[in-house]
Amino acid sequence: MPVMGSPIYVKDVADVEDKTVETSSISRYNGKTGIGLLLKKQGDANAVDVSKLIKQQFAKIEQKQPSKQCEIYYC
């Protein structure tokens, strides 16, 4: 169990796989290189709660890295 205030890494709460062997697409936003993430909730999780938590985590990242811009788009 993590100690309160200690970092929690994606690898601690999810299976992370790099499945790209060769570059098959490029992600850009406003002409700049971007990244794409596919996040899936667990079957018994509440989609609204998961969405709120994800937005909160991105807000924390933006506070720590003010030069980085996080924008969330849903597909």
Q: What is the pLDDT of residue 39?
A: 80
Residues 6+ apart with CB under 8 A from 29: 71
pTM for the model stands at: 0.50
Q: Which tens digit of pLDDT belongs to each residue from 43-68?
A: 898 989 988 888 888 888 778 777 76
Domain segments of the chain: what residues?
10-64
pLDDT tens digits along 17-45 = 777 667 778 888 788 887 777 788 888 98
Sign of CA dihedral 63, 58, 9, 32: negative
φ, ψ of residue 6 in degrees (nearest 5): -80, 155
What is the per-residue pLDDT for 23?
72
The pLDDT mean for the chain works out to 77
How many helices and strands (H and E) does the chain possess? 2, 2
